[in-house]
C-alpha cells in the first residue's frame, strides 16, 4: 500500500532521484520501503495547486469544510491496523500509544468540524450606521475572520499523528479555509503517506478543489526551505526543535513579503514544589514525577525537565527517592537513533558540568536506542550562574534545582526562558502566600498546572499550548484546541455593503 | 511650558548633547524650542523602569487602568489651546483638524477605558473537569488573556495625536496592561512632549507605578533601534513608511528573542468603479474623489491612490472631470519640507514613466511646502507590466488605470500588494455579477468600502485597519478599534487551580 511517492493534489508523483528509508528503533534496522524526496518542481506544483484551490476553498461554506474534516477522520480510522503497525515500526512506540494518538487526531478533526459547521467562530461583529451622528455620520461596518492563504505544515517527530500530517496544524488550517502543504517528517514517512492519502481520499469524496492538500517527502532541509520561501505560502506551522523552528522563522521573516510562523519549540517545563508539599507528600510526588519524566521515554514537549524547590531535609529525601524511582522504570526505546544519540550527548554534557551531581540513572542493560533515564541536581546559585544548564535535554531526564531560599527560587524562575508550562505542587497552607510565585511563573509560561503533571495536553477551548519565546515563536496564539484556528485567519471589514453582498452571518 | 526634555517615568531628563527643532511648514521656518535627543543610557533607563512597572501594572485591576486612561483624556483636554497651537505650528494643519484629531484621541482613550473596566475583553474561557472521563479524566482548565510586557510605540508623522504619543497603539497597550515607551516623532516633538506630560500627570494622579510611560526624543534612527533591540521590550507598534516599518520588523525578528511588530505601513487603496456607476453618476464620483484625494493634502494612509475601471467613453469623461476637479482645489501645505520634497520627487518619477499620461495638476501658485495635486492615467496592460507604478505616492496624487476589460481589471487587482482598503463604486444592477470582484479584492485588503471613500477610519468594534503585507506587518490584527488590544496580549491557562488563586472572572 505504501508507494514512497509524494502526493500532489490527487496525483502521486516521484520525479526525484533522492530516496530515503525510515528506521525501526526497536529492531534497530531500516524499514524496507524507500521514499522519494520531492523535487523543487514538485514543491512548486504543490504550492501552485494550493493557491488555485484557495480561490474556491476560502469561501466554501463551513458545512462543506466540516464534512471534509469528518471524512478525513473516517478515512484515517479506515486505515485500521495498517496505520498502527506502520506507526509502531517507525517510532518504536507501542500499539496502545498509536491507537491513543489516533483517537486524539480524529477527535481534533471532528472538533474543528463542529467548530466551523456554523460561522460563529469567525467572530462576526456588526456596527450599524448612525447616519445623523455629529459631526460626521457613522458608516455601517461589519467584520468577519477570513483565511489568510495556503499554509505549510511541518510535522513533529514525537507525534506522528496528532501533531503531524493530519494533526492540529493541518486540521485547524483546513478548518479555517486554508489549503495545506505538508512537509512530511522523514522519521515517519510511511505514517505520513498513509494519512496523506486518507486526506486526499476524503477531499475527493467530499468534492474539495484539488490541491487543498499535498504531502511532500523530505529528508533534508531543501523542501522545507523552498516551501517557506514560496510566495504562494502565507503562513507556517511547525513543531520541533528550537534550532529548526528558529531557522524557519528567520527564513519567513526575510521574505520580500514576511509571513507568520507559528513554531512550537523547546521547553523544560519547570515544576516548583513547596516545602509544605514535600513534607506532606514528597514520596507520592516522587512516584508521580518518576512516571511523568519517563512517560513516552521523555519525548513530550511538556516533559518536566526542571524541578525547583528550597533546600532542606525533605528536599534531600525527595531527590533521592525521585532518582531511585526514575532509575527503576524499565528503559524504553527512543524514536530514532539520531534522537537517542542526541539524548545521550546532551545528558552527558549536563553531567560533565562541575556544578551538577548525578542522583541516579537507569542501571539495567540497554538495548539499541533505549534511553538511560537520569536525574541530576544542582544548586540554585550554580543554575543561575550557568545558562547552559537551562537547555532542554529531550528525553527521560530531569534536573532538581536546590534553592537556598524563596527569593533565590523566584530568581531562578525569573531567569528562565519562555516555557510551555509551569507546575506548582503546593498545600492549602501555601495558597495565601504564593501570589508572587504564581505571578513570576505566569510571566514565563503559557499554562500553569496546579498539583499535577505537565505531560498531557487536553484538547479543549481553554487550552494554551504555546508561551513566551522559545516555547513558541508567537505567544499570542495556542497550537492546541479550538483557538489554534486563529493562527490562520485575519479580520476583514465590510463597510456600507448592500445586504445582497454580505455573508449570511453578517446579515442577521 | 515646553522644555525639550525626555520624560522618563516622572523625571524630565536631557543628558544628551544632540538637539533638534521642529518646523512650521506654513511659515517655512524652524520653531524655536530645541529638543534633546535621548541618550543610550536614557533609553535603557526608560525600558528598565517599564519592566519594573510591568510587575505591578500587569495584574492591576481593570477599573484602575480605566481610571488612568480617562485621566489621560482629561489631562489632554486640559492642555487646551496650547496643544492646538503647538500641533498646528508643527504640521501646517488647520486648528479644526487638530481639534478633531484631539477628539478622536480622547475618544479612543475613553473607549479603551470602557473596554477594560471589566475583564470580559480578556476572553475568559472555562473548561470544567470531568474526573470520570474514560480513558483519562479531563482536568479543569481556565483561560484568560494576559499582557505580554513593555511595548515600544513609534508615532506617525501624519497623526500627531490619534496615532502618536497617546494614540491608538499607546491607548490599547496601556489598556492591556503593558507599559509603553514612546519614541517621539521628530516632526511634532512639541505636541509629543505636551501629551507625554499629560500622560505622566495622569499616571501620578491615579497611582500608577512609575515607568508605566516614558517619552523619548529622537530625530535619528538610533533611539528606535535601541528600543526595538532592548530585551525588556516585548512588542512594537509602528505607523509610517514601508521602509521604516520593515527596518524595525527585521530588527525585531533578528533578536535572540524575536518579538511581534505591528507596523501599519503603506497602501494605495484601490478604488474600482463599474461601468454602470460611471454611466449613472460619473460626475458625482469625480467630485467626491477630488475631495478624498486632496483631503489633508493627501496625507492619509487610506488616501485613494489608484482608481481602476474598464475603458469606454464614460471613463474618458470621468478621468477628465476628476483631473479638473482635483486640480481646482486650493493647494495646501504638507506636514514638513522632507515630506513635500518626497512627494514632488515620487510624483515626478511616476509622470516620467513613458506609460503614464498626466491628466491634470494644480495650476495655481504654490507657497513653500504646498503640494501640487495631480491625477495621472495608465493603461491596465502598462500598469501590469511596470511594478514601479504600484508604489505609494504619499500626498494628493491618484492614478487612474484604464483596463481593456473585466478580466484585465481582475488581473490588475490580483497583481496588487496587500492594502489597507479597497473601494467599490457600483450600481444595484452590478450586484448579482460582482462576486468574483469582491472575492479578488477581499484577498488583497483589510476592508472594502462600498460606494464611499476610503479616507476616514471609524473607531469601532468591527473596524479592520490593517491588511496583507505591506499594508501591515501582521494581517491578523487591526491597528484601530477595540480589537487592536489583541496585539499586546497572549492567552494563558490555569489548570486545576484552587478557587482561592483564580482571578475573579474565572471563578463565576
SS3 category, A446: strand
A298-301 contacts at long range (C-beta below 8 A, 24 or more positions apart):
A298/A343, A298/A371, A298/A373, A298/A394, A298/A395, A298/A396, A298/A397, A299/A158, A299/A334, A299/A335, A299/A339, A299/A394, A299/A395, A300/A158, A300/A455, A301/A158, A301/A239, A301/A264, A301/A266, A301/A267, A301/A420
Chain B residue numbers touching A127 (CB-CB < 8 A)? 458, 460-463
Chain B residue numbers touching A272 (CB-CB < 8 A)? none
CA pair distance B498, A506, nearest whole angstrom: 40
Could you tell me which residues are beta bridge partners of residue A379? A402
Q: Which of B146, B149, B476 sits opposite A260 (nearest CB)?
A: B476
Mean per-residue pLDDT for A343-361? 97
Q: Which of A451, A452, A493 sits opposite B462 (nearest CB)?
A: A493
SS3 category, A158: coil
Chain A residue numbers touching B432 (CB-CB < 8 A)? 500
Residue A1 pLDDT greater than 90, yes or no: no
CA pair distance A301, A393, nearest whole angstrom: 11
C-alpha cell at B411: 488581473
CA pair distance A123, A137, nearest whole angstrom: 25
CA pair distance B38, B219, nearest whole angstrom: 9
Instruction: Give pLDDT tens digits along chain B (508 positions).
Output: 899 999 999 999 999 999 999 999 999 999 999 999 999 999 999 999 999 999 999 999 999 999 999 999 999 999 999 999 999 999 999 999 999 999 999 999 999 999 999 999 999 999 999 999 988 899 999 999 999 999 999 999 999 999 999 999 999 999 999 999 999 999 999 999 999 999 999 999 999 999 999 999 999 999 999 999 999 999 999 999 999 999 999 999 999 999 999 999 989 999 999 999 999 999 999 999 999 999 999 999 999 999 999 999 999 999 999 999 999 999 999 999 999 999 999 999 999 999 999 999 999 999 999 999 999 999 999 999 999 999 999 999 999 999 999 999 999 999 999 999 999 999 999 999 999 999 999 999 999 999 999 999 999 999 999 999 999 999 999 999 999 999 999 999 999 999 999 999 999 8
Q: Which of B136, B487, B494 sits opposite A448 (nearest CB)?
A: B494
pLDDT of residue A454: 96
Residue A281 pLDDT greater than 90, yes or no: yes
pLDDT of residue A508: 84
Complex confidence, ipTM? 0.97
B258–A253 C-beta distance less than 8 A: yes
**Which candidate in B101, B264, B275, B392 is catalytic?**
B264
CA pair distance A176, A507, nearest whole angstrom: 21
Residue A353 pLDDT greater than 90, yes or no: yes
Instruction: Find, among B473, B475, B408, the residue nearest to B444 by Cα.
Output: B475
CA pair distance B299, B395, nearest whole angstrom: 5
Answer for the pair A105, A70: CB distance below 8 angstroms, yes or no. no
Q: How many interchain CB pairs under 8 A, A with B?
A: 208
Three-state SS for A268-294 is: CCEEEECHHHHHHHHHHHHHHHHHHHH
CA pair distance B39, B442, nearest whole angstrom: 45
Say whether B301 is catalytic.
yes
Instruction: Find, among A286, A140, A482, A353, the residue nearest to B447 by Cα.
Output: A140
Residue of B nearest to A498 (CA): B450
Q: Which of A136, A149, A473 sits opposite B258 (nearest CB)?
A: A473
CA pair distance B122, B116, nearest whole angstrom: 8
C-alpha cell at B348: 515626478
C-alpha cell at B144: 484568560
pLDDT of residue A194: 98
Q: Which region, left, alpha or beta, applies to residue A450 given φ > 0 means left and ψ of -120 to 50 means alpha? A: beta
SS3 category, A453: coil
CA distances from B151 to A162, B146, B175 (A): 35, 14, 12
pLDDT of residue A432: 94
The DSSP code for A483 is: G
CA distances from B163 to A236, B148, B289 (A): 31, 21, 24
pLDDT of residue A47: 98
Q: Which of B58, B456, B496 sits opposite A452 (nearest CB)?
A: B496
Residue of B nearest to A147 (CA): B443
Answer for the pair B469, B448: CB distance below 8 angstroms, yes or no. no
Chain A residue numbers touching B439 (CB-CB < 8 A)? 55, 58-59
Among B101, B274, B491, most A C-beta atoms within 10 A, so best to mutate, is B491
**Which candidate in B88, B178, B301, B403 is catalytic?**
B301
A149/chain B closest Cα distance in angstroms: 9
B183/chain A closest Cα distance in angstroms: 24
N-terminal to C-terminal alpha carbon distance within chain B: 50
CA pair distance A286, A270, nearest whole angstrom: 15
CA distances from A37 to A30, A231, B79, B216, B461 (A): 17, 21, 67, 53, 48
Chain B residue numbers touching A434 (CB-CB < 8 A)? 501
Answer for the pair B181, B494: CB distance below 8 angstroms, yes or no. no
CA pair distance A65, A51, nearest whole angstrom: 17
Taking residue A207's Cβ as centre, other Cβ atoms within 10 Å add up to 10
Widest Cα–Cα separation across chain B? 83
Q: Which of A55, A464, A491 sits opposite B492 (nearest CB)?
A: A464
- The residues, ordered by sequence, that sit 6+ positions from B308 with a Cβ below 8 Å of its Cβ are B270, B271, B272, B273, B380, B400, B401, B403, B409, B412, B413
Phi, psi (rounded to 5 degrees) for A206: -100, 10
A491–B483 C-beta distance less than 8 A: yes
Chain B residue numbers touching A418 (CB-CB < 8 A)? 257
Q: Could you tell me how many residues make up chain A?
A: 508
B486–A476 C-beta distance less than 8 A: yes
Phi, psi (rounded to 5 degrees) for A20: -150, 165
Taking residue B47's Cβ as centre, other Cβ atoms within 10 Å add up to 24
Chain A residue numbers touching B491 (CB-CB < 8 A)? 446, 464, 466, 476-478, 483
Residue of B nearest to A257 (CA): B469
pLDDT of residue B390: 96
Residue of B nearest to A486 (CA): B476
C-alpha cell at B462: 468591527
Instruction: Find, among B156, B320, B16, the residue nearest to B165 by Cα.
Output: B156
Q: Which region, left, alpha or beta, applies to residue A314 given φ > 0 means left and ψ of -120 to 50 means alpha? A: alpha
pLDDT of residue A166: 98
Q: Is the alpha carbon torsion for A309, A314, A318, A319 positive or negative?
A: positive
A501/chain B closest Cα distance in angstroms: 7
Q: Which of the residue ranges A14-18, A317-321, A383-387, B456-460 would you say has the lowest mean pLDDT?
A: B456-460
Residue A354: Cβ-neighbour burial (10 angstroms; 0-12, 13-18, 19+): exposed
pTM value surpassing 0.95: yes
Q: What share of chain A is helix, strand, coil (3-state, %, to 5)?
A: 45, 20, 35
CA pair distance A455, A398, nearest whole angstrom: 13
- Give tens-digit pLDDT for A21-65: 999 999 999 999 999 999 999 999 999 999 999 999 999 999 999
- The residues, ordered by sequence, that sit 6+ positions from B168 with a Cβ below 8 Å of its Cβ are B108, B162, B459, B479, B480, B484
Chain A residue numbers touching B142 (CB-CB < 8 A)? 462
Q: What share of chain B is helix, strand, coil (3-state, %, to 5)?
A: 45, 20, 35
pLDDT of residue A182: 98
B470–A501 C-beta distance less than 8 A: no
Residue A82 pLDDT greater than 90, yes or no: yes
pLDDT of residue B135: 85
Active site residues of A: 264, 301
B350/chain A closest Cα distance in angstroms: 23
Amino acid at each position: 500500500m505504501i508507494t514512497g511517492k509524494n502526493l500532489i493534489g490527487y496525483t502521486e508523483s516521484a520525479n526525484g532521484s533522492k530516496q530515503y528509508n525510515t528506521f525501526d528503533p526497536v529492531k534497530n534496522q531500516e524499514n524496507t520501503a524507500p521514499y522519494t524526496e520531492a523535487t523543487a518542481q514538485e514543491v512548486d506544483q504543490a504550492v501552485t495547486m494550493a493557491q488555485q484551490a484557495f480561490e474556491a476553498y476560502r469561501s466554501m461554506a463551513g458545512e462543506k469544510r466540516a464534512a471534509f474534516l469528518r471524512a478525513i477522520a473516517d478515512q484515517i480510522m479506515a486505515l485500521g491496523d495498517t496505520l498502527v503497525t506502520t506507526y509502531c515500526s517507525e517510532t518504536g512506540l507501542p500499539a496502545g500509544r498509536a491507537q491513543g494518538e489516533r483517537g486524539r487526531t480524529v477527535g481534533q478533526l471532528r472538533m474543528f468540524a463542529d467548530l466551523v459547521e456554523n460561522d460563529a467562530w469567525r467572530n462576526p461583529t456588526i456596527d450599524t450606521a448612525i447616519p445623523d451622528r455629529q459631526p460626521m455620520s457613522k458608516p455601517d461596518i461589519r467584520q468577519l475572520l477570513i483565511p489568510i492563504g495556503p499554509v505549510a505544515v511541518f510535522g513533529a517527530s514525537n507525534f506522528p499523528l496528532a501533531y503531524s500530517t493530519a494533526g492540529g496544524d493541518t486540521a485547524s488550517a483546513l478548518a479555517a479555509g486554508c489549503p495545506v502543504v505538508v512537509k512530511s517528517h522523514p522519521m515517519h514517512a510511511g505514517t505520513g503517506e498513509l494519512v496523506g492519502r486518507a486526506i486526499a481520499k476524503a477531499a475527493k469524496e467530499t468534492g474539495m478543489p484539488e490541491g487543498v492538500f499535498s504531502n511532500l517527502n523530505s529528508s533534508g532541509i531543501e523542501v522545507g526551505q523552498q516551501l517557506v520561501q514560496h510566495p504562494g505560502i502565507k503562513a507556517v506551522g511547525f513543531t520541533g526543535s528550537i534550532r529548526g523552528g528558529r531557522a524557519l522563522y528567520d527564513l519567513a521573516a526575510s521574505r520580500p513579503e514576511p509571513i507568520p510562523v507559528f513554531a512550537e519549540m523547546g521547553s523544560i517545563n519547570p515544576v516548583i514544589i513547596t516545602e509544605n508539599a514535600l513534607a506532606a507528600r514528597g514520596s507520592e510526588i516522587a512516584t508521580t514525577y518518576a512516571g511523568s519524566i519517563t512517560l513516552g521515554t521523555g519525548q513530550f514537549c511538556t516533559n518536566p525537565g526542571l524541578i525547583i524547590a528550597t533546600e532542606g531535609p525533605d528536599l534531600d529525601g525527595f531527590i533521592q527517592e525521585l532518582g531511585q524511582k526514575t532509575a527503576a522504570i524499565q528503559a524504553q526505546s527512543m524514536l530514532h537513533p539520531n534522537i537517542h544519540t542526541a539524548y545521550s550527548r546532551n545528558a552527558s554534557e549536563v553531567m560533565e558540568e562541575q556544578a551538577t551531581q548525578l542522583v541516579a540513572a537507569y542501571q539495567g542493560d540497554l538495548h539499541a536506542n533505549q534511553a538511560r533515564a537520569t536525574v541530576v541536581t544542582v544548586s540554585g546559585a550554580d543554575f543561575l550562574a550557568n545558562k547552559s544548564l537551562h537547555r532542554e535535554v529531550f528525553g527521560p531526564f530531569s534536573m532538581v534545582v536546590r534553592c537556598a531560599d524563596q527569593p533565590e527560587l523566584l530568581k531562578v524562575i525569573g531567569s528562565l526562558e519562555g516555557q510551555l508550562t509551569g507546575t506548582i505542587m503546593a498545600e492549602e497552607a501555601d495558597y495565601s502566600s504564593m501570589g508572587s510565585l504564581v505571578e513570576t511563573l505566569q510571566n514565563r509560561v503559557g499554562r500553569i498546572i496546579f498539583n499535577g503533571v505537565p505531560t498531557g495536553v487536553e484538547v479543549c477551548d481553554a487550552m494554551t499550548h504555546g508561551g513566551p519565546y522559545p516555547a513558541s515563536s508567537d505567544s499570542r496564539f495556542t497550537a492546541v484546541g479550538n483557538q489554534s484556528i486563529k493562527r490562520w485567519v485575519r479580520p476583514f471589514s465590510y463597510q456600507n455593503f448592500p445586504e445582497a453582498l454580505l455573508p449570511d452571518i453578517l446579515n442577521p
